[in-house]
A = this chain, B = another copy of it.
Amino acid sequence: MAIPVPAPVRDTAFDLVPTILQAIHDADETLQDGDVLALSSKYAAISQGRIVALDSVQVSAEAQTIAERYVMNPQLAQLVLQEADHVFGGITHRFNGHEVGFLLTHKDGIISPNAGLDRSNIPDGQVVLFPQAPYRFAQIIRSAIQAQTGVHIGLILTDSWLMPGRMGTTGVALATAGFMPVRDERGKADLFGNPMQVTQVGVADSICVCAQMVMGETAEATPIAIVRNSGVSLLTDGHIDVEDVAIDWQTCIYVGGLTGGKL
């Protein structure tokens, strides 16, 4: 069950933990032991001041070339090159009668367009980057909330993302704190007693999608959701990191099947 929690719109750095706790209070909700708090990664990023005015960005020759090839805003292309851990390539497609381009990137364990840069829900001409050090930041927010409420919770930073071959976005957990983001069912028995071959369940990503169902994408201003009875087991110690959920992109079947292994 996901409970939406509205919170004030922000467009400059702010103090995140008191804002979250006030928003939960104002929504007449309380955190309970075992809840997973879902927090918009964009809201987290804005709290860190991770906002860039496009006209402040110096465009390199490489970004200019890429921007021309893929019909992108050159400042945006520059920011993607700066932010991405790896750039695979680009694509241009027609949208509302004009060409729009994107770069396909890897950043913070997520393969997605434009390194997670986001131009919506922020004043025109500005771009929100991914939060800095998302796993560490998630752990810091979780610890602070636990310290102030005395309640034992998990936390995820939610982000929208586009699935291959699909029109609509779903969600991905940019970071997880307090529980294992993947539940490993390899070796368990299936319905006929045979060992499961390759089943690992993306628990954090699934919780993220369920939370985003109630959080909204446009002007709803609901950057927080409380996910109750998700079935996750909270950890009492140990930190989660990107390696607990992301695989090297070199071993990803999508990357491998479309590049070196292309038939």
Contacts and interface: CB of A to CB of B under 8 A. Distances in A.
A144 interface: no
A110 interface: yes
Given A88-B257, A188-B218, A190-B120, A181 B168 contact: yes
Interface stretch (A20-28, A49-57, A247-255): A247-255
Contacts of A212: 206
B172 A163 contact: yes
Interface bin, chain A: 35 or more
Given A185-B218, A218-B189, A263-B88, A168 B205 contact: yes
A95 B1 CA distance: 35
A238 interface: no
B123 A192 contact: yes
Contacts of A181: 168
Interface string A71-97: 000000000000000011111110110
Given A168-B203, A196-B218, A104 B163 contact: no
Given A191-B221, A263-B90, A198 B95 contact: yes
Contact of A259 (B160, B186, B245, B258): B258
11 contacts: A11-B192, A88-B257, A91-B257, A109-B165, A113-B253, A120-B199, A124-B194, A160-B199, A163-B205, A170-B206, A199-B217
In the A-B complex, the 8 residue pairs with the smallest Cβ-Cβ separation, listed nearest first, are A168-B202, A104-B257, A91-B256, A258-B258, A89-B262, A89-B257, A209-B209, A168-B182
